[in-house]
Chain A
Amino acid sequence: MADLPQRQTDIGPPHYMQFLPPVAQKNYGQWKYHEQLSGGSMVHVAESGDKLWTVRAASPRLISTDFIRGLTALADKYCGGHLRFTTRHNVEFLVSDESNLKPLMDELKQKNYMVGGIGDGISNIVHTQGWVHCHSAATDASGLVKVLMDEFADYFTGTKTLPARVRFAVACCTNMCGAVHCSDIAVVGIHRKPPTIVHEDVKRACEVPSTIGSCPTGAISPDPANKSVKIKEEKCMYCGNCYSVCPAMPISDPDNDGVAIVAGGKIGSLRSNPKFSKLVIPYLPNNTPKWPEVVAAFRTILTAYENGARKHERLGEWIDRVGWEKFFSLTGLPFTHQHIDDFTIARETYRTSAAFKW
């Protein structure tokens, strides 16, 4: 490795301006309006009258260098080498010359890229590492994203639209690296049994006070005889936070792990405040490789929303309007003990009114 270049530290990322297409540099902060042209294209118009076209295409996020080189070759051919990624992992080709727009879209189609993700439909799915790269994953993320996006592809491309945008997310455990907690419909990997304790390894690899401190319900206490910890199993709600702190408390259990489905969250402040997603299905199995129960559940929820919501109404706004009791009757999803909160905000969620729907 003698021929390595000189390393630099604390230089931070390269300055953003050099990556913007010239038209975006020229009109920086001077944009006037934008218009959606199709399910996967839009144009931004500057005060100066200059225009910048964007063509958006799906990416699985977990991509090879060859995939990236495929994108950059297209950007070189049609975009003067300028491209960007969205916060939902799509790629955006930034077209400054309108005559390149159609040829780019034609070539994307010919090469089987999935163009879309703009407007009132389903964009790409924010997700986590899953079994590809994470030690605490209770399910896979990439596989769930793949089967869900295949199922709802028409809502990505713009072939079909919805009353408003519907944002999906997948988190492979309750650590929720993927911000599942504020999505229209989301999947989160869960466990259903307490961790096991490998006392020999606790002694060697874990700090007992921080392991005890990691438990939200106070279920973990010292076990001095074993120089380890013990768990009051009836207090454990299987979050797995102790395993994050102490590797000697494995919680993975293929026969009991699976996913929960949550719905009704949103991020933006449009019309109503940002809201959390709420539990709609407490458990579905990890039926690999295609999770058919999860896909069917998403279809059930989406269909009820599509049939019931007003234009511009997000899924959570529709539910707030009709009521959660109505949501469960419209979707036919069973309501169980697991649905009623018994954690930190439980009392706030109890219905303190006699006015409700049958």
Chain B
Amino acid sequence: MSQKKYETPLLDELEKGPFPSFVTEIKTAAAKNDSANDLLGVLEQCYRERRTHWKHGGIVGVRGYGGGVIGRYSDVPNEYPGVAHFHTVRINQTSGFFYTSKALNDICDIWDKYGSGLTNLHGSTGDLVLLGTKTDALEAIFAETSSRGWDLGGSGSAMRTPSCCVGPGRCEWSMIDTLDITYALTQEFQDELHRPAFPYKFKIKTAGCGVDCIASVARADLSLIGTWKGDIQIDQAEVKNYAAKGMNIQGEIIDMCPTGCMSLNGGEIAIDNSNCSRCMHCIAKMTKALRPGKEHGATIMVGSKAPFVIGALLSHVIVPFMPLEPPYDNLKDLIRKMWEWWDEHGKNRERIGELIVRRGMREFLEFLELDPIPQMVFEPRRDPFYFWTEDELNK
């Protein structure tokens, strides 16, 4: 293989220092692959000119799917022919990002054969991202990966690849089976994932508890967050052990409880559970002494997204507590109804959170047949301007 050798004085600066270097990674791939080599060249030019050299994605993909591949083209293809096409393939990751060596090695073998040898583990939405290939390799990549049990993730105006935290696979706080819920929803909604038919993207993220390691509340149109009912379980002997090891329980735990529902009496913790908001602070700091209550479920929230168009949104509560057990029909039904309303009223590129703002919570809740309750809001309205229906007037 005769390769053009690029001088990369700016990028070389980013190979120094203790943190592993993405430049070293590109160079490693470049030693074996012309596309990765040309990526190195064009990236140095980006650093020199302080601007990107990629064009908008074109429509590329595999037969029968409307997403899963992001078309990417260079705006300087003549200088860097290896990245004239440099498409991304999104492989649907495993629940909780668990892998075996064999599974990853298989994907590496395929990617060395058909792509640049560069990847993202993982993309922002959660997919295992294969970074940089050409249009005519896409069908082969799909045949090789799908025949080994892997499928593509989502892109465009579709359900995006659902993702979740580590969940019951390795965490004592996970109050819902995040791995299984994510797997079940992904399987249930394959058509919605692969064939974009929505007004815009729809992301689902499942977190086992309020610590929210998957950033569900900020990054998902549908945020499922595990929680509990009942009393926090206390092991008073372990409370005393924490004190003996030097923890300032009064200062670090009791005084930092946002609802003031805890007290420390004679070295024992007491909790007024009726005033606990289940924030997870005390449980997360005293892992051996405190555990969530025993009745488990999820708080269902909707609508978070990044700033385009009306400003960033966080998800808000629509169902305070939903038990989630296989086959999760209650959740699947709720999702389908949400989509039906959004499909009916959503404008092109309007996320569901924006649609709720535009048309109002009342219409959304009535469509979902959910009764209004105070847990849905921080506070009631301040203004005196609201609607009455004929039914309400005649009551």
Contact = CB atoms under 8 A, between A and B. Distances in A.
Nearest to A52: B170
A238 to B, nearest CB: 12
B179 interface: yes
A58 B144 contact: no
A176 B306 CA distance: 6
A29 B64 CA distance: 38
Contacts of A12: 92, 151, 183, 186-187, 190
Given A87-B215, A131-B52, A175-B308, A113 B20 contact: yes
Nearest to B290: A33
B52 A135 contact: yes
Contacts of A94: 170
A245 interface: yes
A218 to B, nearest CB: 11
Interface string B120-156: 1110100000011000000110111011111100000
Given A5-B143, A13-B95, A135-B54, A31 B171 contact: yes
Most chain A beta carbons < 10 A, residue from B20, B23, B280: B20
Interface stretch (A16-24, A228-236, A327-335, A350-358): A16-24
Contacts of B384: none
A62 B21 CA distance: 9
Interface string A218-244: 000000000000000000000101001
A10 B211 CA distance: 32
Interface stretch (B100-108, B261-269, B335-343, B359-367): B100-108
Given A13-B94, A19-B100, A269-B279, A177 B124 contact: yes
B348 A213 contact: yes
Contacts of B212: 267-269, 274
Contacts of A60: 19-22, 25
Interface in B21-80: 21-23, 25-26, 28-29, 36, 39, 43, 46-57, 62, 64-65, 72
Contact of A137 (B52, B94, B97, B142): B52
Interface in A5-53: 5-16, 18-20, 24, 28-29, 31-35, 44, 52
Interface stretch (A98-106, A178-186, A299-307): A178-186
Interface in A61-94: 61-69, 71-73, 75-76, 81-87, 89, 91, 94
Given A64-B29, A68-B121, A269-B210, A179 B306 contact: yes
Nearest to A182: B218
Given A87-B215, A210-B348, A65 B108 contact: yes
B219 interface: yes
Contact of B314 (A149, A268, A276): A276
Given A19-B99, A28-B168, A177-B124, A270 B131 contact: no
Nearest to B251: A311
Most chain B beta carbons < 10 A, residue from A1, A32, A35, A72: A72
Given A61-B121, A289-B14, A16 B98 contact: yes
Given A29-B174, A135-B52, A135-B57, A63 B279 contact: no
A62 B218 contact: no
A288 B47 contact: yes
B47 A153 contact: no
A252 B148 CA distance: 41
Nearest to A21: B98
A18 B100 contact: yes
Given A19-B99, A29-B168, A84-B99, A270 B281 contact: yes
A149 B18 CA distance: 8
A247 interface: yes
A10 B151 contact: yes
A297 interface: no
A5 B106 CA distance: 14
A179 B124 contact: yes
Most chain A beta carbons < 10 A, residue from B48, B49, B53, B108: B108
A312 B94 contact: no
B211 A268 contact: yes
Given A61-B22, A213-B349, A10 B191 contact: yes
Interface string B82-103: 0000101000111111111111
A178 B124 contact: yes
A4 B287 CA distance: 51
B309 A149 contact: no
B332 to A, nearest CB: 15
Interface of A: 1, 4-16, 18-20, 24, 28-29, 31-35, 44, 52, 54, 58-69, 71-73, 75-76, 81-87, 89, 91, 94, 113-114, 126, 128-137, 140, 142-143, 145-147, 149-150, 153, 156, 171, 174-182, 210, 213-214, 216, 239, 241, 244-245, 247, 252-254, 257, 267-272, 274, 276, 286, 288-290, 311-312, 343-345
The 5 closest A-B pairs by CB, nearest first: A150-B17, A72-B101, A29-B168, A5-B147, A176-B306
Given A10-B190, A87-B165, A135-B55, 11 more contacts: A4-B140, A4-B143, A11-B149, A14-B103, A24-B170, A44-B170, A68-B121, A86-B166, A143-B47, A179-B219, A182-B218
6 contacts: A16-B179, A31-B172, A64-B119, A66-B29, A133-B88, A140-B47
